Chains A and B, each alone.
Chain A
Amino acid sequence: MGLADSLDAYLILAGGLFAIGTFGFLARRNAISMLMSIELMLNAVNLAIVAFGSFIPDLRADGSVIALMVMAVAAAEATAGLAIVIAIYRNRKTPLVDEYDAMRR
């Protein structure tokens, strides 16, 4: 049984991508970098969904449909998130999240 024919390989790959996205979200200072990390995490989840849809006969078409819907929601999230970042940047002149301290002072 080859690598591309085992569900575990796809799921472990998705887990690795999700962990990389988690690290980026927790560790980066730039708000847009954090949004890019969120996109990576969404892609990891999508990969897991597509893998389940490909390997489990009852989910064959449902997996792809759900993956397409996740993509649409991700597009909406990117639109709203980047608009918020740009609006904050216009006020604070910095994209670094650790300098957004208006509610901490």
Chain B
Amino acid sequence: MRAWLYLVAAAVAGAVITTPALLVLVFAGGSVDDALFAALSTLMLVSALAVVVMRDIIRCGLAMIVAFLALAGIYVIAGAPLVAAAQVIVYIGAISVLILFAIMLTQSKAGPARLVFQTQAAPAAVAAIVLAVLITLGVATTDWGEAGRRARLATDALARVLFDQYVLPFEVVSVLLLAAVIGGVFIAKRERGPD
């Protein structure tokens, strides 16, 4: 009985994600890239909404992984395959696991909290919608004069720039990561009591 409900939910989710792709592909006459972009961006926005509104925080973490994966697909469409690979390795492989561990360490035995939102949730929603509208207006009214064609970035060109022009920021970032690791261990270390 429960399994059928899950199947129905999965079918509805699949329909929600594939519908914009089919609309773009069939009615708007877009290419396969356009259809993939529509499907992945729908998946990303829906799972990001699930991250911020769902009640069970473990499910929020899993929805966040889905959002990161869809974003990696969008990076591939945008022509940055190395960034997509780094997205999968860093965000899905490292940060999501870290967050899931932190969730499991801090979840109280009473289960998910009854109130997931602060009292100012409604003004926050209004502010977020206003922000989205403002960004959309700003993007739509700006003329990106130099914007050319979408192009795929070759990995050796990226490596040349990274290790030639940006080699100092690269090293600074490695020092920053070391400092963050040491700081994280020091902060989260269990304090020895005076006894």
Contact = CB atoms under 8 A, between A and B. Distances in A.
The finding on whether chains A and B are genuine partners in a shared complex, rather than unrelated, reads yes
A63 B79 CA distance: 11
Given A30-B116, A69-B173, A55 B150 contact: yes
Given A23-B125, A61-B157, A82 B98 contact: yes
Interface residues of A, number: 77
A58 B68 CA distance: 27
Contacts, number: 266
A67 B78 CA distance: 13
A84 B57 contact: no
A103 interface: no
A22 B129 CA distance: 10
B158 A61 contact: yes
A86 B98 CA distance: 12
A15 B176 contact: no
Contacts of B147: 7, 55-56
Nearest to B37: A4
Interface in B115-174: 115-118, 120-121, 123-125, 127-129, 131-132, 135-136, 139-140, 144, 146-151, 153, 157-158, 160-162, 166, 169-170, 173
A40 B160 contact: no
Interface size class of B (residues with CB under 8 A): 35 or more
A19 B138 CA distance: 14
A72 B90 CA distance: 8
Given A26-B128, A74-B95, A96-B113, A33 B57 contact: yes
A86 B5 CA distance: 37
B73 to A, nearest CB: 11
Interface of A: 2-5, 7-13, 15-24, 26-33, 35-37, 39-40, 43, 46-47, 50-51, 53-58, 60-65, 67-69, 71-80, 82-87, 89-90, 93-96, 98
